A = this chain, B = another copy of it.
Amino acid sequence: ATVGNGFDVHRFAPGTGVWLCGVLIAHDQGLEGHSDADVALHALTDAVLGAVSAGDIGAHFPPSDPQWRGVSSDRFLAHAAALVAGLGGKVVHVDVTLICERPKVGPHRPAMRARVADILGLPMDRVSVKATTTEGLGFTGRREGIAAQATASVWLPA
């Protein structure tokens, strides 16, 4: 078994909601970025890619490439999972931590887990979504953006 880590940050911008783990959450701001700026799916995608040493999300989906503008990030995660399957492997478990003061993640956790489980073809008990704040400190504490860190456990044939 191998384990990959992922980290990503997106900046708040004017808007009416943020995509997190493939779920649109109403919020008094949006997130800036190519694609839908789903910082959680980006961190998860990097964790899955990392576990199989397959580069990073920027290598597979360059932000400079106009074809990824505004697209849904679920395709990035699905692509990473397909790479694992192509190696004869299997994503076993994923865990993501959202780091932000707002929006509140807890009420959306079940929908987020269900969405990620669906993208990865995993049972929900193999998908963990957590959240924490930085108690007002740093850029997440100043509500300038949202950070996410993820871990993916992958089984690979020997």
Contacts and interface: CB of A to CB of B under 8 A. Distances in A.
Contacts of A22: none
A72 interface: no
Contact of A53 (B97, B126, B144): B126
B50 A7 contact: no
A53 B132 contact: no
- Size class of A's contact patch? 35 or more
How many chain copies does the complex carry?
Answer: 3
Contacts of A137: 9, 11, 139, 144-145
Nearest to A144: B137
Contact of A7 (B2, B8, B99, B144): B99
A130 B80 CA distance: 14
A77 interface: no
Interface string A127-154: 1101111111111010011010111010
Given A7-B149, A8-B132, A46-B97, 13 more contacts: A1-B1, A2-B92, A2-B95, A3-B3, A3-B95, A3-B153, A32-B135, A49-B128, A51-B128, A59-B109, A137-B139, A137-B145, A151-B151
A95 B50 contact: yes
A61 to B, nearest CB: 12
Given A51-B95, A53-B126, A9 B133 contact: yes
